[in-house]
Structure 1
Amino acid sequence: MTIFDYLKKNCEVAIYTDEYGNTYMETKEWEYEKIISGAIEISNKADDAIVWLIPEVVYEKHSEIEIAIAGDESVDPVRNVRRPYYRMRGVPVTAEQAFDIIRRTDRFLNFYVSAVRSHEDYIGCMNFENCLIQKNHYPTGYGWIRADGTIGANATTQKYPTVREFIEEWYKLLYAFPYLNLIIAVTGWNEGPWGDETVSEEEFCKEVAVGIYVHDRKIEILNPPNTIAKYKEYNKRYGTPPEKFEREYYEKHKYERYKTEQANPAYLRKCIEAYGLDADKILKRG
């Protein structure tokens, strides 16, 4: 199904087409402006609804992405898990593509650079964080993307996520970065093996509850057996060296900056300037 089919079926969103072929989206939630990037607000009825016009070219581009959900869509395998532990592995991207992902998702820019936070290009993150820029974040260098293009992490989501959040978050990311190709094995394991990232793959796989497979303009929510199979395949291909995916890898090596620092002050300036902003003025306001 397309994102429009999904929204109509699973969310309080009305999507309809008029006699002239124009498509409209009506919702009470502002968040759908980010999900349907390119929609134009044409009416705000306050408590009643917000109406968005979706131009034909935008509608067609969004319709290129497929969403597939295995099993019963009403079942949410992680709804009652506080912070599900996950492992992600993906096909590496170029350093230039990694920079684009970082500058459009890193939490530092959301928290500390209001001009970026309010920019239409900024996407941010919900359950799958990138915190490469903020030096006092623990652990240092935390995120699913690396500046060198490596994709993957052993990490945790935010509190009590839902499969709906997974779909909507990765939909926005795939629409913005169509080259993404990755698998996320999400467990029912709250927080996971803190302090013991060396647990065996067999032990980890026993805890897998659901998978998110993002590839080829498609988002698939997988059952545990298919998730485990795909994760093992991607881990074998792209999961080396395994210690690089540990949550505290960069924290352990933070004093070896010539080896591991990913986002220095010059990198931050580059992120800000990529929005057409004056980094000197913004950082001076600090």
Structure 2
Amino acid sequence: MAPRSAAEVEQALARLQRQRPLDEAGLVFYALGAQLVAVDVEIVVAEKALVPRRVGHRPASLRRRPLCVYWVVSRPGPRRTVRRVAVLASGGLDSGVLIADIAGEAKVFPIYVEAGLAWEDGEKYALRVFLDALNDTNVQPLTSLELPLRRLYGEHWSTTGEGVPDYGAPDSAVYLPGRNVLLIGVTAVWCALHDIGMIAIGSLDANPFPDATPSFLEGYGRLLSRALAHEIEVVAPYGRLQKSDLIARFAALPLHLTLTCMAPREGKHCGACNKCRERQEAFRHAGVEDRTQYA
């Protein structure tokens, strides 16, 4: 098929958009690693969907029906960013890796939700330092939203900083009821106002809490979509991975700049809480030097 004019390409894209949302077509264009120069509007059904290589999650909208592939004639060219993803960022290792990972395929909007919890000053500082070190043009400036939880949680260790679950405490001890419900919800409102259709969170396989399960995230995305009249998908790309897997795969990132601690001291990890234990064990299991600064 001979290359077509720019006007013909625009007309073809308009027809594609009427037949199927353009962002899904865009996934195919990027997966082909191509600079689009011509489009054949004949549609064929792929045996399996082509999705961003490093996001690692097939969105629900693509699971519900086969993805149509639009044949293109292309030539090698610069990478094209075809998606916009909001990443719920905490300053921790998991969400930090997620930002860097998705930025390889899409434009990333890091979102930090200030809830009034005891460790937030340390988290926000670590997140800004990590993003500066990342220095990726696909990562947009940090957006901070406010959702005060002090009155809701009351005199709780998460708001007072007293009695934080210690090194030997079980993971169940760090549960904050409804935290994902609230943080994802306020982020979804922001996404609806800024025309972003996906929220990614850094939950791992070891997360035992009910508001981090795949069924909850998929159902919550559908609920938010109806409530906001804006299509929202909530994904956890690392839902089948351990923290040690992330450390091993992304050891080249400045992981030591992230903060995974519930009682940071002057910008350093306390080394004595449940989260510090989790971090230290993950580095050991990954066989990667832990350059984290502990108090």
The normalised TM-score by structure 1 is: 0.29
Q: Which has the higher contact order (CA 8 A, sep 6+)?
A: 1
User: Highest Rg: 1 or 2?
Assistant: 2
Higher helix proportion: 2
